[in-house]
Structure 1
Amino acid sequence: MSASALTKPQMCGLLAKRLRMHLVGAITISLGVAAFCKFAVAEPRKKAYADFYRNYDFMKDFEEMRKAGIFQSTK
């Protein structure tokens, strides 16, 4: 086997080519994770808070805490 039969490895531009490929992959994965967090965590949490405060009576809750003796300044 002669030296001319072997193909030379690509050295020029190899780093840029690999970085470009990994950058596209990293951006794609990070956008996917961000979308998953938004729709699987943030939106249900916002809905749960909205549902809770839709029917929340803060005066009733305050009176229950006052009767339980949580507050020292109110009797």
Structure 2
Amino acid sequence: MSSSALPKPQMCGLLAKCLTFHIVGVITVSLEVAASYKFGAAEPRKKAYADFYKNQDSTKDFEEMRKAGIFQSTK
């Protein structure tokens, strides 16, 4: 019979060790998601709005809609 004893399980500080590992993981993942949203969705949307309003003529659009009969209060 071999008398190799099993190592004792870590009892003291186990929760703190696990929480530290998971908190670091959560912070890393949340920063990656935030960065991917910012550069993948928010910045292209801002650029599209800026490009649209750079060349937009609201008076011309209003006159086209008025001539098309969309507005009933203006003739």
How far the C-alpha of 1:7 sits from its partner, in A, is: 1.1
1:22 lines up with 2:7 in the alignment: no
Q: What is aligned with 1:49?
A: 49
The code of the aligned residue for 2:24 comes to V
For 2:11 and 2:70, locate their aligned partners in 1 and report how far apart those are by CA, in whole Å: 72
Cross-structure match for 2:12: 12
Q: 5+ residue gaps in structure 2?
A: none
- The normalised TM-score by structure 1 is 0.89
Q: CA deviation at 1:6?
A: 1.5
Note the aligned Cα RMSD (angstroms). Answer: 1.4
What stretches of structure 1 move > 6 A for 4+ residues in a row?
none
Residue type at the aligned position of 2:59:
M
TM-score normalised by the chain length of structure 2: 0.89
Same amino acid, percent of matched pairs:
77
Q: Aligned partners of 1:15 and 1:69: how far apart in 2?
A: 70
Q: Give the aligned length.
A: 74
Give 1:28 shift. 0.4
Aligned AA for 2:10? Q
